[in-house]
Amino acid sequence: MKYVSAFLLPVLLYSLTYIAPPGKKGKVEIGEFDHFWFALQWPPSLCEGKRDSCKDVKPNFTIHGLWPTDVQGNTLKKRVLPVADCLSFHFDDDMSPLVEDLNKYWPSFLIANTNKCFWKHEWDKHGSTISKWIENGHTPEDYFKKAVKLIENRSTKISTALEPDNSYPVSEFIEAMTKITGKEIMLQCTENKLIDNMKALIEVRLCVNSDATEFINCSGEKEKPETEKSCGQGTIEIRFPGVS
Ligand SMILES: *[C@@H]1O[C@H](CO)[C@@H](O)[C@H](O)[C@H]1NC(C)=O
Ligand SMILES: *[C@@H]1O[C@H](CO)[C@@H](O)[C@H](O)[C@H]1NC(C)=O
Ligand SMILES: *[C@@H]1O[C@H](CO)[C@@H](O)[C@H](O)[C@H]1NC(C)=O
């Protein structure tokens, strides 16, 4: 139960005080936990032009995070310090099989960041905000296990839905990715790495129910315009880089 003392206190302190970052239109009111965003990143895009800071870049979507959001799709998050104290993050022994899965599906491909630091960061910033879960006895272990379950049998399907080293219209990406879960998804593109005047696909974000067991449509107020805001829409082409 060493875990509880390490995690419960900050969780209790924060659970009453979600503070939204000030947006352009002023403060966003953040509501209660409703569902998750399951963010899958595309390493070839993230590492494009900075291969020296990356390791083991593969053409596979891997987990960025499982982020609690309110009903509109505002992510609930805590301010966390940059990777400070990774060594204190220990999983219980029965986490060992899970660590193998996490290494596979949730790697940090940044050389500056170990896998465990990445997981700790994600837990601290996002996972630990789910006070409802923690009050019900859920542990970080459950959280990570659920994330693995969401991807394990879909990883290949998602990663091979479209051929990399190509560009595709936004609508084609949406269609290919929607087919995999049958639910509406969101896309995220690079802001500033235009090549041939095109952005690159950087993440696919899926929405997941509050138990983190099933995919649902991303239909919150904040979710519907996400893809268009980041990538554009319809016939606008976005790049899907390979590892070469
Ligand atoms: C990653 O991609 C490679 C090559 O496409 C594939 O063989 C491997 O199974 C993938 N790994 C995962 C975890 O999906
Ligand atoms: C994934 O596939 C394996 C092998 O077919 C199966 O045992 C497992 O239950 C599946 N996992 C999920 C989450 O569906
Ligand atoms: C999810 O979105 C699809 C496609 O827009 C729609 O057909 C379906 O009815 C939606 N499901 C729910 C539960 O809203």
Burial track 81-116 (b if 16+ CB lie within 10 A, e otherwise): eebeeeeebebeeebeebeebbeebbbbbbeebeeb
- Average pLDDT of the segment spanning 99-112: 91
Phi, psi of 218, deg, nearest 5: -85, 90
Q: Is pLDDT of 23 > 60?
A: no
Q: Ligand 2: distance of its center to the CA of 214 in Å?
A: 14
Q: Ligand 1: distance of its center to the CA of 156 in Å?
A: 6
State which fold the 2-240 domain adopts: Ribonuclease Rh; Chain A (3.90.730)
Q: Is the CB of 184 under 6 A from ligand 3?
A: yes
How many Å from the N-terminal Cα to the C-terminal Cα in the chain? 46
Among 153, 173, 155, 154, smallest CA distance to 163 is for 173
Mutate to test the pocket of ligand 3, among 171, 184, 185, 207 (most ligand atoms within 8 A of CB): 184
- Average pLDDT of the segment spanning 5-32: 46
Among 241, 243, 239, smallest CA distance to 169 is for 239
Ligand nearest to the CA of 43: 1
SS3 145: helix
- In the chain, where the domains are located: 2-240
Q: Does the predicted TM-score (pTM) go above 0.75?
A: yes
Q: Is pLDDT of 169 > 90?
A: yes
Q: Is the CB of 155 under 6 A from ligand 1?
A: yes
